[in-house]
């Protein structure tokens, strides 16, 4: 794969002090920074405590800056630069996100980030929660400090660009046909180590495009650049797209919706994956059933490794 400027990709940097983080975010001015530091030294207290005592910042501002300092950024209430579906960024301390972090931990123990790098998130039908899972898994891996990319290989009904509020006129499909280079197609969002590669211009031949050698090379090359590659996919049983994507990946996670996904549909997906030799590292149940944009909860149904 050509035209990838690896120097531009995010690597871990020395942590900035809280004052610098807050000033760069426009939360305080240079004059306020100096005032806080002076008060901090006079009273021998922490910077954040000094800022709150001076009524320059709220405790929520300080907590946000600390999260950024520890490579664990999230959005404060009222900020909507990313869809609320990415609960790992909007509500990082909620029980729901703890469940997602537990899933991440089990994935790490299974070899994700080492022997397993590309993971396709699939589901039998539409609206069962796979994009929710893919987006939040990408977020929590990035919060862990892993260089992560979320790729949208759903050329039929893409949603990743909507969730992360990026334009979709330039993305993976354009990269495959060599109309753009990698640095033009990828987007950088709130978390420094999370990159977003939207689906791009909708192609007239999605199945054929997925079978191109160029597509295989792009997916494979991601493993040389990123620690974790999360891939969003179209409905498994409606087209042959998701099976092709599964075969391009190191492993898959199956998402099903409680009270919506039929047992027979799940069995058909598993049978096709097994027949193709695709590694299944787990399956998740969407507790809310068919997609609910405001509230989705998940639990690990099975994480047995092959």
Same domain, 36 and 101: no
Same domain, 105 and 224: yes
Same domain, 265 and 120: yes
**CA 221/CA 230 separation, integer angstroms:** 14
Same domain, 233 and 157: yes
- Residue 39 lies inside a defined structural domain of this protein: yes
Which run of H or E residues covers position 267?
A: helix 263-276
Give me the mean pLDDT over the 6-21 stretch. 58
3-state secondary structure 74-102: CCCCCCCCCCCCCHHHHCCCCHHHHHHHH
Q: So what's the pLDDT on residue 84?
A: 86
Same domain, 97 and 46: no
Same domain, 56 and 95: no
3-class DSSP state of 280: strand
* Residue 249 structure tokens: 């990946």
Q: What is the pLDDT of residues 73-113, one digit of tens each?
A: 566 565 667 888 898 888 887 888 888 988 999 899 889 98
Strands 194-197 and 118-122: unpaired
- Residue 209 lies inside a defined structural domain of this protein: yes
Q: What is the pLDDT of residues 116-175, one digit of tens each?
A: 999 999 999 998 999 999 999 999 998 888 999 999 999 999 999 999 999 999 999 999
- Residue 259 lies inside a defined structural domain of this protein: yes
Residue of 231, 228, 213 whose CA lies nearest to 154: 231
- The count of domains in the chain is 2
Q: What is the pLDDT of residues 43-71, one digit of tens each?
A: 999 998 999 999 998 887 887 777 776 66
pLDDT over threshold 70, residue 72: no
Out of 69, 104, 132, pick the residue that ends a domain.
Answer: 69
- Residue 6 lies inside a defined structural domain of this protein: no
Same domain, 188 and 43: no
Same domain, 36 and 103: no
Out of 69, 89, 111, pick the residue that ends a domain.
Answer: 69
Q: What is the pLDDT of residues 263-299, one digit of tens each?
A: 999 999 999 999 999 999 988 988 765 555 444 555 4
Q: So what's the pLDDT on residue 18?
A: 85
DSSP per position, 34-58: HHHHHHHHHHT--HHHHHHHTTSS-
pLDDT band (50, 70, 90) for residue 178: very high
- Residue 162 lies inside a defined structural domain of this protein: yes
Same domain, 141 and 280: yes
- Residue 12 lies inside a defined structural domain of this protein: no
Same domain, 110 and 205: yes
Q: What is the reported pTM? A: 0.78
- Residue 189 lies inside a defined structural domain of this protein: yes
Same domain, 175 and 290: yes
**CA 277/CA 119 separation, integer angstroms:** 15
- Residue 186 lies inside a defined structural domain of this protein: yes
**CA 156/CA 234 separation, integer angstroms:** 7
Out of 46, 69, 92, pick the residue that ends a domain.
Answer: 69
pLDDT band (50, 70, 90) for residue 12: very low
Q: So what's the pLDDT on residue 200?
A: 96
Residue 251's domain spans which residues? 80-302
Q: So what's the pLDDT on residue 62?
A: 83
The CATH number that applies at residue 197 is 3.40.50.300
Q: What is the pLDDT of residues 220-251, one digit of tens each?
A: 999 999 999 999 999 999 999 999 999 999 99
pLDDT over threshold 80, residue 9: no
Same domain, 62 and 180: no
């Amino acid at each position: 794969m050509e035209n990838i400027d690896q120097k531009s990709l995010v690597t871990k940097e020395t942590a900035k002090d809280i004052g610098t983080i807050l000033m760069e975010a426009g939360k305080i001015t240079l004059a306020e920074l100096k005032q806080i530091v002076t008060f901090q030294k006079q009273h021998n207290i922490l910077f954040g405590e000094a800022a709150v005592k001076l009524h320059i910042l709220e405790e929520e501002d300080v907590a946000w800056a600390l999260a950024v300092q520890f490579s664990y950024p999230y959005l404060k209430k009222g900020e909507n630069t990313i869809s609320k579906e990415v609960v790992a960024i909007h509500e990082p301390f909620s029980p729901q996100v703890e469940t997602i972090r537990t899933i991440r931990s089990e994935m790490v123990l299974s070899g994700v980030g080492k022997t397993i790098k590309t993971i396709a998130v699939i589901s039998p039908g539409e609206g069962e929660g796979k994009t929710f899972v893919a987006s939040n898994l990408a977020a929590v891996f990035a919060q862990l400090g892993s260089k992560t990319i979320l790729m949208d290989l759903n050329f039929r009904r893409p949603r990743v660009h909507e969730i992360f509020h990026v334009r979709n006129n330039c993305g993976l499909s354009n990269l495959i046909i060599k109309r753009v280079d990698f640095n033009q197609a990828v987007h950088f969002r709130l978390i420094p180590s999370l990159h977003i590669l939207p689906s791009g211009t909708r192609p007239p031949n999605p199945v054929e495009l997925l079978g191109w050698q160029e597509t295989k090379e792009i997916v494979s090359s991601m493993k040389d650049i990123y620690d974790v590659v999360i891939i969003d996919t179209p409905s498994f049983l409606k087209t042959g797209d998701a099976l092709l994507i599964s075969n391009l990946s190191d492993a898959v996670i199956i998402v099903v919706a409680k009270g919506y996904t039929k047992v027979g549909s799940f069995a058909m997906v598993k049978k096709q994956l097994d027949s193709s030799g695709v590694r299944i590292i787990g399956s998740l149940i969407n507790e809310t059933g068919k997609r609910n944009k405001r509230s989705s909860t998940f639990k690990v149904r099975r994480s047995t490794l092959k």
